[in-house]
Structure 1
C-alpha cells in the first residue's frame, strides 16, 4: 500500500504593519487611520476621529466622537461628546465628555457601532474590518499585554461625563462627576466622587474626601476619607468612612464590617457580616444586625454620659450583641440629620480641608 505524500505546509505572507501617521497639529472635519497616530500638538476634529491603533497627542483633544482601538494618550485636556477606547486611556489633564465614556471596546463592537459592516464589499476583496484596523494591529493586540491593564483609565485631572463604562481600573487625581457609573471592572479611586444615578464597581471604591451617590452604590469594598452618602449602599467587603455613612435605603456588607468615625444611619435596614462600629450613633429604622460572633459598637469616641444623645443605637427593635452605646427606640434618620446640622466642632481632617477651600476661594 502506497502512502500519500504529505502536502507541503502553506506559509502565509507576513502582513506588514500600517505606516504610522505623524503631524505637528491636526485640525480637520474628520480623520481616520488604521495604524498608530502621533500628533505633536493639539487635535481639533469637527466630527469623528477614528484610529485603529494607538493614538498619542502631545496637547489637547477636541472632537465630537473619538474611536481609538488601541491606547489613547493625551498630555493635555480632552473635550468630546463621546469617547470609545479599545485598551487604555491615559490623560495628563482633565476629561470632559458630554455623553458616554467606554473602555474595553472590541474591534467587532466598534465596527458595528460605526456601521462599517453595512457598507458595500470592497472591490479588492478586503474585509470590512480592514476599514477600521489593519490586521497587523489586531494581531499585536491579541498577543501582547498592554501596559497599564486592559480597559484602564488614568487621569491627572478630573473626569466629568454622563455615563461611564470602564472595564478596568479608574484612577483620578481629581474628582469624578458622572450621571451614572454603569460599570467599573476594577478599582475606582478619586479625590471626590459624585454620581447622580447608580454606581457599580466590581473592585474597591476609594475617595480622599466624600462619596456622594444619589442612586444605589455597589462595590467590592468602600473606603472614604470623608463621608459616604447614597440612596442605598451594598458591598461585598468592608464599608469604611472617616466621617459618616448615610443612606435612605439599605446599608449592607455581605462579608465584611461597617465602620464610621462618626455615625451610621439609614431609613431602612443595616446589616454587616462582621462588626458594626461607629464613633457616635448607629440608626437603622427597620432593623440592625451583625454577625453572630461579632457585635455592635456605638459611641466609641464619646464619654458614656453622652451615649443616650450622641452615642445611641436605635432601631424598631433592640438588636442583639450591643457591645457599647445605649439603645434608644425608634429614632429616625431625620433625627441624626438634625443633630448633624447643630454640630459645632470639626475633626482634624475636616479643618485642613476647610482651610484649603477657603484659600482656593480667595
Structure 2
C-alpha cells in the first residue's frame, strides 16, 4: 500500500467550496479510487502572518514522515525542504503570463520556481502543460495532464424542462475580487445587443455589482443545484474569459445539456472542444488588454449566434446532445488514471 500525502490546506480557507478547494475535493475523491493507494490528508498552512512560515514548514515536514510521496495542490504549499518525492498541481501560470496580474512578485516567482524541483507536475489541461514547460522549464516528460471533472451535482445531467417560457442565455460572475481576465464587462455588452431580440441574459454568482449589468437579470448566488436548473433551461452559457488554466464553468454548463458560446483561446478551446461552441477571440490575452471593450463587430457576431440558436429548436436540441457528450469525457475515472500515472512516475515505479 502506497501512502500518498495529499495537501488539503485549501479546504479550510474561505471559499473552499470553489477554486482550489473544489479542485482538492475532486483530487482526493479520485485518488481514493486508485488501487493500492491510501490517501493521507496533509494540513498545509494558509497562514499569512510573517512570523509563522518557518514553523508551518516544520509542521508540514513532520506530517510527511508517515507518507511515501507528497502531492501538493499548489506550488505555494510546497515545503522548503524536500524529504519525499513531490507531485505538485499547477492549475495555471496566470501570475506569470498576464502583466497586470496583482499577485505577481518575487514571492510568486519563487513559488513557481519550486516546480522544477518536483518529480511530477500535474496540469489540468494540455494548454497549461505546455505553458509550464515553456515558462518554468519543466521537462515535458515530467508533466501529466489531469483535468478535473465537474462536481457530483452537475454529473446528474439536465434538470427540468430544456426550454422554459422565457428565452434567456446565462453567465456566471464572481466579483468578490478583481479578475480582469474574465472580461465580465463583455457580458453586459452582449446583453444590451440581445435585448433587441427580446432575449434575456441571466447572471448568477457572488459579489455581483448589479449596476454594472443594467441589461442583465441578476439572479445572485446559487447552489450547484440552482446552477444546474439555470443551465438546463438556458439557450446557451456565455463565457467571455480571455485566459483559463482549465475552465470549469463551461464544462459544468455542458454537463447540464447547455450549449456554450466561448472564445477560442487558452484551455477554453481544449475543454469546450466543439467548433460549434467557439468564436474567434477579437482580443487575445497576449495583447495584454483585458479591460478594453468588446469590439462592436464581435458583439454583433456573438449575439447573432445566440439569436440563431434561440430561433432554431432543432439545432438547439442537437447542441444540447453534443454538449452532454463533451462534458462526459471528463470523469473521476479519467482523473484517477492520470493521478495513478503521476504517482507511479514520481515514485519511480
Highest RCO, 1 vs 2 (Cα 8 Å, sep ≥ 6):
2
- Structure (1 or 2) with the greater strand fraction: 1
Asked if these proteins are the same fold (TM beyond 0.5), I'd say no
Whose radius of gyration is greater, 1 or 2?
A: 1
Q: TM-score, normalised by structure 1?
A: 0.24
Q: TM-score, normalised by structure 2?
A: 0.24
- Structure (1 or 2) with the greater helix fraction: 2
